[in-house]
Chain A
Amino acid sequence: MLCYNISCSLIDEPYTMQKRAIALSVALLASPSLGSAADSSAGPQVNLGAILDGRYQDGEREFSETEDGFGLGHTEISLDANIDHRFRGRLTTVLESHDGDIELELEEAFVETLGLPGGLNLRAGRMLSQFGYLNSRHLHEDDFPHRPGAYRAYLGDHYFDDGLGAELVLPTNQYVKFGFEAFDGDKLAASSVPGHARDTVNVLGGQIKTGGDINDSNSWQLGVSLLHNRSGSAMASFDLPDHDHHDEHDEDHDDGHDADHHRHAGDHDEHDDDHEDDHGHEHGNGNGHGHAHGPAVTGENLYGVDFTWKWAPDGNYREQNVVFTAEYLLLDDLLDNTLAQVQGAPDDLSGWYLSLAWQFAPQWTAAVRYGEAETFHSHDVGLHDGDLEGQYDVDRLKEIDLSLAWSPSHFSTVRAAYTRETQRVHGHSNDENIFMLQYVMSLGAHGAHRF
């Protein structure tokens, strides 16, 4: 199967395609097949793949970077190969276009060990965090064009960063996997925490996963995850006056308003002009309709529980199958001790979703998902004449997604999706209907059938 050929080769080693790595370019991907048989001298075996993702969207979505109208989603180019008998490497670049600008982002650039003893795998470089069920997956593997609201709000779609990862599978009949990771974590830091106040290693993560088969037809997996974010709590930019002493803090009045913006936490600095919010009393997550990469809210700890159940008659996924996924995410320690005293300051925020996808014929999948996610925003939080004033309000995003996908082969999907989004702000609701047509097509490397 595998089987494309881009300039050279026929593949006669299993699972790999022989490619001149040096020949990698987008132009090459588009070139016609010039395959000739058994050119095994073509050099090292590198899996080369590209994902083309295009869409038409009507309506705008909270915490999302896709815009109304025609647009491209994640256009991905990936390289994947064994480096030698000890290491494997993977490189994934994502091209995104926004308002006519092309952004190039490195989503993955990691090396991992092959064959360390004791079921241990180590990774280093830039990688997707293994948090939860969805985070370690590429966006194009999903049954919906967008991640659930909880992932968009707390992880910025998916969290990837520079760092180290380790995984250990126990040698037991029952599948048990432990994961540990350490990341730079700047992307998840609250923007109110200045760079010099952040740790070198800002984010630590851990997961435990287990799962098994109930019988030939039914399989399951359960995971618990944690991302500990040392710079995740929003920091007040002022000190509360000490009431025992006279102080001059009133002059910090302007400064105090900075706290209004702390929820821009993960935003990239270079995008601040898109959605810098001059009005602290407005929706604090003002990036919702702009271009958002980072999370909308951050906290010190993000906990996750995920459960997946899959059914296929006799375990034969070809004809039909059902996939059920549920995840619950809890974000706590959102604010430092000062800001936590503000009226309405939330202790924690939670988000969850339930998703059911039914592949009812070999080429057709219908899916439905319901999810909620809490975020919060501020009204004029700051010091006013020495008193802590303003307040926080919690918002709740509710989404129901429907999707119908046609996949003529492993390598192509055309999808129609509808989302009804309800955002409760200031106690009243805003509804949005979002329609989307999407294609996701894969050139080259055969995708992995992960559970």
Chain B
Amino acid sequence: MGRTTLTCIIVGLTLLGQAAGARAALNVLACEPEWQALAQELGGEDVDTVSATTARQDPHHIEARPSLIARARTADLLVCSGAELEVGWLPVLQRQSGNPAIRAGSPGELFAAEQVARLEIPERVDRADGDVHASGNPHVHLDPHRVLTIADALAARLARLDPDNESRYQSRLKEFRSSWQQAIDRWESEARALAGTRVIVHHRNWSYLFDWLGIEIVGELEPKPGLPPTTSHLTRLLQIVDDEEPRFIVHSNYQNPRAAAWLSERSGVPRLELPYTVGAYESTGGLFALMDELVERLTRSPQ
């Protein structure tokens, strides 16, 4: 081997090493796009974020595929919903990646649902009741007040893992809190008229949103949480429509709209598709835009 080749290799390796060393940013692997968006708000240029799922995927039905294991291998922090939403695949990622930084119970693991009070914690957990999460409903990102609490926890965690940049995380948190709070005031005033509205939902992923807005859920298209709608169950819902007079039938962008359309057609109650998370539509590129779109769609819908 010539001396030049050797020198080239040494220089190359040194540069590679420096490149790796210069990468000060924390690698954040979010399980869902909403947590990627929040980590980006709080981490700015100090973090590299990636989401394991997109807004068009049911986050419960994901597989620990090779690309996700590779991402988990180099992650410094996992930000996930928790409350068993990712139970089928996240533990596999944590184990198979062999990455001690994000192993179960380590500081490199943050569950959003654990930071807030959860709705729908079941009295008893029996699988005959369907896909019931023992820790309660995991879809916490649609209540903006809870998002504030989660933001506090996430900023603190980022600072713990990257203490050199603590002040930057804190100042971004402060900025986020203030604009998010302003936005909450705006959304709440725009959506005031929605309080007391009754709706039928496809799945319980709207509980936090509707709890916040005072919207009452009077029926679900799924006969049991997580089970696909059946004709017999939908037929029973027709009776509920007569009794409760819901204003619309809500399903998310990633759920099959057939059942909602079926019921809408027979009951005359309009169907309303809502974006479940960041990235569902081009118009919902961030957390603010997502909530804007949700409030807009709910208030614009036929009265």
Task: Enumerate chain B residues within 8 angstroms of A446, measured Cβ to Cβ.
Answer: 84, 87-88
Task: Enumerate chain A residues within 8 angstroms of B123, measured Cβ to Cβ.
Answer: 37
Q: Which residues in window 164-195 of A have CB below 8 A to B?
A: 167-177
**Is B100's CB under 8 angstroms from A169's CB?**
no
Chain B CB within 8 A of A344 CB? no
Task: Enumerate chain B residues within 8 angstroms of A100, measured Cβ to Cβ.
Answer: none
Interface size class, chain B: 35 or more
* Number of inter-chain CB pairs below 8 Å: 190
Chain A CB within 8 A of B70 CB? yes
Give Cα A362 to B254, complex, Å.
13
**Is B82's CB under 8 angstroms from A115's CB?**
no
Chain A CB within 8 A of B297 CB? no
CB proximity of A407 to chain B, nearest CB, Å = 11
Task: Enumerate chain B residues within 8 angstroms of A12, measured Cβ to Cβ.
Answer: 134-135
**Is A170's CB under 8 angstroms from B67's CB?**
no
**Is B132's CB under 8 angstroms from A3's CB?**
yes
Contact (A212, B70) CB under 8 Å given A1-B84, A449-B63: yes
Contact (A1, B73) CB under 8 Å given A85-B105, A169-B97: no
**Is A11's CB under 8 angstroms from B62's CB?**
no
Chain B CB within 8 A of A391 CB? no
CB proximity of B226 to chain A, nearest CB, Å = 7
**Is B124's CB under 8 angstroms from A219's CB?**
no
Q: Which of A33, A168, A319, A451 contacts B66 (CB 8 A)?
A: A451
Chain B CB within 8 A of A43 CB? no
**Is B227's CB under 8 angstroms from A408's CB?**
yes
Q: Which residues in window 105-121 of B have CB below 8 A to A?
A: 105-106, 111, 113-114, 121
Q: Which of A4, A411, A451 contacts B64 (CB 8 A)?
A: A451
Chain A CB within 8 A of B196 CB? no
Chain B CB within 8 A of A250 CB? no
CB proximity of B108 to chain A, nearest CB, Å = 10
Query: Which among A196-204, A227-235, A310-318 touches the partner chain?
Result: A310-318
Task: Enumerate chain A residues within 8 angstroms of B92, measured Cβ to Cβ.
Answer: 448-450
Chain B CB within 8 A of A135 CB? no
Task: Enumerate chain A residues within 8 angstroms of B125, measured Cβ to Cβ.
Answer: 2-5, 10-11, 33, 35
**Is B133's CB under 8 angstroms from A410's CB?**
no
Give Cα A117 to B101, complex, Å.
9
Chain A CB within 8 A of B95 CB? yes
Map CB proximity to B onto A344-368 as digits: 1 under 8 Å, 0 otherwise.
Answer: 0000000000000000011100000
Please give me the residue from chain B that is nearest to A117 by CB atom. Answer: B100
Task: Enumerate chain B residues within 8 angstroms of A35, measured Cβ to Cβ.
Answer: 124-126
**Is B126's CB under 8 angstroms from A3's CB?**
yes
Q: Which residues in window 7-59 of A have CB below 8 A to B?
A: 10-15, 17, 33, 35-37
Pairs A–B under 8 Å by Cβ, sample size 22: A1-B84, A1-B133, A2-B87, A2-B133, A3-B127, A10-B122, A13-B135, A15-B104, A36-B124, A114-B103, A119-B73, A119-B99, A120-B98, A169-B69, A169-B97, A213-B65, A314-B54, A314-B57, A409-B131, A410-B131, A449-B61, A451-B65
Which residues of A pack against B, CB within 8 Å?
1-5, 10-15, 17, 33, 35-37, 82, 85, 88, 112, 114-121, 167-177, 209-213, 216, 219-221, 310, 314-319, 361-363, 408-411, 446-451
